[in-house]
Structure 1
Amino acid sequence: MHSNDKTFSGLVRKWYGCGVALPASPAPVSPAPDPPAWWVALDPGNAAPAYVQLAQGLRQRIESGELAPGSALPAERELAAHLGVSRVTLRQGLSLLEAEGLLRRRRGSGTFVSGPAPASRQLGLLSSFSDEVRAQGGVPGARVLQFARTRPAPQEALSLGLAPGAEVYRLRRLRTSDGEPMAVEQSTLPAALVGPLTPADVTDASLYALLSARQLAPARALRHLRAQNADAELAALLGVEKGAALLTTERVSWLADGRPVEYARACYRGDRSDFVMELRGEGA
C-alpha cells in the first residue's frame, strides 16, 4: 500500500485502513459588536427612576457628540424593547429631553437629536442672519423660494416711501444654518436704489453684504417682534409641525442719509431661535 499522505491521519489510514476523526480547531471568536449610540444600560439598584436614568444616559451621549444632531432614534416600540422598559417609561424619559431642547419628535417621522442650542439675537444690534449664524459657529445658507421685480404692495410702498409707478425686488428665501432650516425671510428692496439684481446674487449669500458692497449698508432699522403659529406651508419649509410656535419679525431699514433700503418680514423657528434685549434703568 503506497501513499504520499504523510499527515497523522494519513498514516493512521495507512496502518489501520480507516480514518480517524481529529478534534476540530475551535472557530475564531468574533469580538462583540459595539452597542449602538442610543444604548443606555439601566441599573436596577439605582434609586433614580428608570425614565430618569434613560434621560441621563441619552443626554450624556448627545452632549458628548456620540449622538450627533439630526440622528434618528429607533421607533418607540423597538427602542423600548431594546432597553427593556415600557413605552410609558420611554416616553417619560424622551419628554424630559424634549423639554430641554435636546430631542424633537415629529409626528409620523420619529424622534431626532436636536442641533446646537438656539442662536441668541441681540434685538438692538443691526446684523444680518449670515453674521448671526457665523457668530454661533455655523455655516449660513439661503435658498431662493420666490424672486420678482414688480410693483410694491401698499404696505411695501408706504414703508419704503416709494412714488407711484416705482418698482421693487421682492425675494423670499429659506435661511439655513449648517443645512438646517431656521427661518423664512421675505425682503422688498427699491429697484431704482439697489440696481440690477438676480436670484443668483442672493442664493447662499448675505443680502446685507451685497448692499454694503454697493455702498447701501443699512445704518439703522426698526423691528417689530410678535408670535405666530406655523401654517401648513411654513411648517413644511421649516421642518416643524403645523401650529408650532414661530417668532416673526417685521423690519424697515434705512441708509445713513435717511433713505429706506429694505422692508422685510421673517418667520423664525421658535425652538431654534431666541432674541435678547439689554435694558437699562433711568440714569444708568
Structure 2
Amino acid sequence: MSLHSNLHAEPWLISLDSGSATPVYVQVAQGIKERIRTGLLQSGTALPAERELAQALGVSRVTVRGALALLAEQGLLTRRHGSGTFVAPVQSDIPARPLGILSSFSDDVRSRGQHPGAKVLHFEKARPQPSEALSLELTPHDQIYRIQRLRTANGEPLALEESTLPADLVGALRPSDVRDASLYALLSARGLRPHHAVRHLRAVNADLTLAGLLGVPVGAALIMTERVSWTPQGQAIEYARAHYRGDKYDFVMELHGEDTSA
C-alpha cells in the first residue's frame, strides 16, 4: 500500500507492502531508519505524535508504537517525557568518557565542543552515612558535604550526580561554589585534585524520579556509576554516585592482550 501523507511532509512518504511477510511495524521502522541514515531526518528532529503518524501512514497506532519502540531500542530515537519522540544524536555527538582516564564531567563535555552546566538540587553539611564513612575513611562523628547536581550539556540533562566530600579536608563550601562549576576544578584550586579512583559501573532503568530529572521515559536505560577518588597523598576526597543517560553518554575502554612472549 502506498502512502499519501496527511502531514504533507516528505519523510513520511513511506511505501508499505501489506502482502509482505515482514510485519508492517517493522516496515515502518525500516522506512524511518532509512530516512535517518540518508539525513532526511536529522539529529534532533521531532517526530509527529503517534496518532498523526498513524494517520499519515494509514496504519494503526499500535503499529506506529511498535515501530518507534523498535527504533528506540536500537538507539535511533529518543523519547523525552512530556516532549515527544526525537531522532537521537549520531554516535559522534555522544560524549564518550574513557574509563582509564580520571577526568571531570565538565572536561568531558567541553572536549565535545559543548557547554557544561550544573544545577544544584540538594546541598547539606551533615554526618556521614555508614557507606560514606566507610568509603571516605571517616568516623561517624566527622562531617561531610553531600551535594546532588543535575549535569547538563548545552542545557540538556545528561546525568544526575551525587558527591560526598569530607568537610574537614575540603574546608568551607557553599552551594554557589558548585553551581555551574567543575567540582574537580574547585578541589584542584584547594590542592585536592583527585589523582586516582576506583569506579564501578552497572546498567539500571530510570525510575519515576530519575526519568523526570533526566527527561527520559520511566524504564529508560541508564548507566549507574559509583566511584571513590583519592588525592596524590592517599586521602579519600570524594565518594560519588551518578546516573548517566544511556542514549546520550557512553564509556570507552581500551583493552590490551596479555604479554605471552616471556
Residues 1:75 and 2:53 aligned together: no
Which residue number corresponds to residue 196 of structure 2? 220
Q: Distance in 1 between matches of 2:132 and 2:161?
A: 15
Q: In structure 2, what residue type is equivalent to 1:77?
A: R
Which residue number corresponds to residue 152 of structure 2? 176
Partner of 1:208: helix, strand, or coil?
helix
Deviation string, structure 1 residues 40-79 (Cα, Å, up to 9, x no partner): 434689x99863334312443466x4xx52x432212212
TM-score w.r.t. length of structure 2: 0.81
| Partner residue of 2:33 out of 37, 43, 55 | 55
Which residue number corresponds to residue 230 of structure 1? 206
Query: Which protein is bigger by CA-based radius of gyration?
Result: 1
Shift of 1:207: 0.4
TM-score w.r.t. length of structure 1: 0.75
Q: Distance in 2 between matches of 1:107 and 1:164?
A: 40
Deviation string, structure 1 residues 210-253 (Cα, Å, up to 9, x no partner): 11112111111111112222222112111222232221111111
Partner of 1:233: helix, strand, or coil?
helix
The unaligned stretches of length 5 or more in structure 2 are: 1-7
CA separation of 1:231/1:90 partners in 2, compared to 1, >3 Å: closer, same or farther? Answer: closer
Partner of 1:39: helix, strand, or coil?
helix
The unaligned stretches of length 5 or more in structure 1 are: 1-34
Residues 1:208 and 2:180 aligned together: no
Residues 1:105 and 2:79 aligned together: yes
CA separation of 1:141/1:227 partners in 2, compared to 1, >3 Å: closer, same or farther? Answer: same
Q: In structure 1, what residue type is equivalent to 2:56?
A: H
CA separation of 1:278/1:79 partners in 2, compared to 1, >3 Å: closer, same or farther? Answer: same
Deviation string, structure 1 residues 112-138 (Cα, Å, up to 9, x no partner): 222353332211110111111122222
Q: Confirm or deny: 8 A CA contact 2:130 2:140 kept in the other structure.
A: no
Identity %: 57
RMSD: 2.9
CA separation of 1:183/1:62 partners in 2, compared to 1, >3 Å: closer, same or farther? Answer: farther
Report the number of matched residues: 245
State the structure with bigger RCO (CA 8 A, min sep 6), 1 or 2. Answer: 2
Residues 1:131 and 2:110 aligned together: no
Q: Confirm or deny: 8 A CA contact 1:39 1:83 kept in the other structure.
A: no
Which residue number corresponds to residue 216 of structure 2? 240
Q: Confirm or deny: 8 A CA contact 2:128 2:140 kept in the other structure.
A: no
Which residue number corresponds to residue 159 of structure 1? 135
Q: Distance in 2 between matches of 1:229 and 1:42?
A: 33
Shift of 1:281: 2.3
CA separation of 1:148/1:230 partners in 2, compared to 1, >3 Å: closer, same or farther? Answer: same
Deviation string, structure 1 residues 137-186 (Cα, Å, up to 9, x no partner): 22211110100111111111121112453211110001112222111111
